[in-house]
Amino acid sequence: MAGIAAASEGAAPARASTPAVVHRRVSAAAVLVWGLIATGVLAMAVPLVMTAYISLFRDAVVVFPPSGYSVSWYARILEFPRFGDALGTSLRIAAMATLGSLALGIPASLALVRYRFLGRGLLNVLLLSPLTVPGVVIGLSIYVLVVETEIATEVPLIGSDLVLVLAHLLITVPWVIRLCVANLVGLDRSVEEAAANLGARPWSVLWRVTLPMMRQGIVAAALFAFIVSFENIEMTLFLIAPGQTTLPISVLQYLEYKVDPLVAAVVMVQTLVIAGLLLLLDRYVKLSRIV
């Protein structure tokens, strides 16, 4: 009893100062949280900021500190070996991979969410599994497969857009399915039932109700598919034909023998293409609500 009394007596003055203590603790936590956020943002931003910085150096050889600054590298961007060609290939492959992955991924998502069938679980795992295998491994495997097929059939495959697009589908389809499934799961099924109740046939329900309601998911999926394909390097490295190139690959090849502000400028352009795409899409779909 005496102990309890003493403790409560001892607690009384402490209680008076509690608000200050709590306040200080909250501040410490806040400092930690903001510190972590700042570190994270910094870690993400530093490479980009450094690249942007270097792209403005005047000297052809990267030295610190630079002797001066200049935007002339951007004007000389077309001097980058096969810049237009590489960018064109990248955009073309990414666009085809995006369309292809939507064509495969949207029906697959509908099937996975709406129907119960034999092997559904297996299909689900298979469709997402390429994300778990390193790109280099997939690239090499496809390369071996394609070469063997070429030898067997004598149909030239290596270097065709088709092989590259098919390979990219492996990594873009999982993204499309993942985003569309998440979107579909959140939809109220009775909306589709209402359409049927009002006289809409199944295809009409799909076209007029289900797909429009999936718009957010589809846009997000298209975006991810495009970026994943556009930036892919590991798989593409194996499957690209001699003489053919994509932007990330030409950057890699350039960096093998030279580091100068020109390549930094090219990377900045590539980043701006993606950023521009994101901004454009954000006008139609609030990205913050999806990602």
Partner 1 sequence: MSDTYLRIEGLTKRFGASTAVQDVNLDVRQGEMLVLLGPSGCGKTTTLRMVAGFVEASEGRILLEGRDYAGLPPYRREMGMVFQSYALFPHMTVAQNVTFGLRMRKLPKAEVEARLAETLEMVKLASMADRYPRQLSGGQQQRVALARALAIRPKVLLLDEPLSNLDANLRQQVAREIRGLQRAAGLTALMVTHDQDEAMMMADRLVVMNEGAVQQVGTQEELYERPANPFVARFIGHSNLIPGELAEGERLMLPGGGAIRLAGGYTATGPCTLAIRPERVRLCGPEDAGARVVATVEDATYVGAHIEVLLVLPDGTRLILHDPTDGGAARRFAAGDRAGIAWDPASERLFDSAGAPLAARTPVPA
**Footprint on this chain of partner 1 (rule: CB under 8 A):** 188, 190-191, 193-201, 204, 208-209, 212-213, 215
| Closest to partner 1 by CB, 203 or 257 | 203
Q: Looking at this protein, which amino acid is placed at residue 91?
A: L
Shortest distance in whole angstroms from residue 288 CB to partner 1: 18
| Closest to partner 1 by CB, 26 or 198 | 198
| Closest to partner 1 by CB, 195 or 251 | 195
Centre a 10 Å sphere on the Cβ of residue 220 and count the other Cβ atoms it contains.
Answer: 23
| Closest to partner 1 by CB, 99 or 187 | 187
Shortest distance in whole angstroms from residue 203 CB to partner 1: 11
| Closest to partner 1 by CB, 209 or 228 | 209
Report CA-CA distances (Å) from 146 to 161, 182, 269. 13, 34, 33
Q: Which regions of the chain does DSSP assign to beta strands (E)?
A: none
Token digits of residue 258: 């030279």
| Closest to partner 1 by CB, 156 or 199 | 199
Q: What are phi and psi of 57, to 5 degrees?
A: -65, 145
CB 220 within 8 A of CB 287: yes
Centre a 10 Å sphere on the Cβ of residue 47 and count the other Cβ atoms it contains.
Answer: 10
Q: How far apart are CA 51 and CA 48, in angstroms?
A: 5
CB 106 within 8 A of CB 180: yes
| Closest to partner 1 by CB, 47 or 212 | 212
Buried b (16+ CB within 10 A) or exposed e, 62-75: eeeebeeeeeebbe
Shortest distance in whole angstroms from residue 195 CB to partner 1: 7
Shortest distance in whole angstroms from residue 196 CB to partner 1: 4
Which helix (H) or strand (E) covers residue 33, if one does? helix 2-54
| Closest to partner 1 by CB, 55 or 183 | 183
Shortest distance in whole angstroms from residue 188 CB to partner 1: 6
Shortest distance in whole angstroms from residue 192 CB to partner 1: 8
Q: What angle do CA 226, 250, 220 make, to 5 degrees?
A: 10
CB 165 within 8 A of CB 92: no
Shortest distance in whole angstroms from residue 115 CB to partner 1: 15
> CA 256 from chain center: how many Å?
25
Shortest distance in whole angstroms from residue 200 CB to partner 1: 5
| Relative orientation angle of helices 215-230 and 261-284, to the nearest 10 degrees | 170
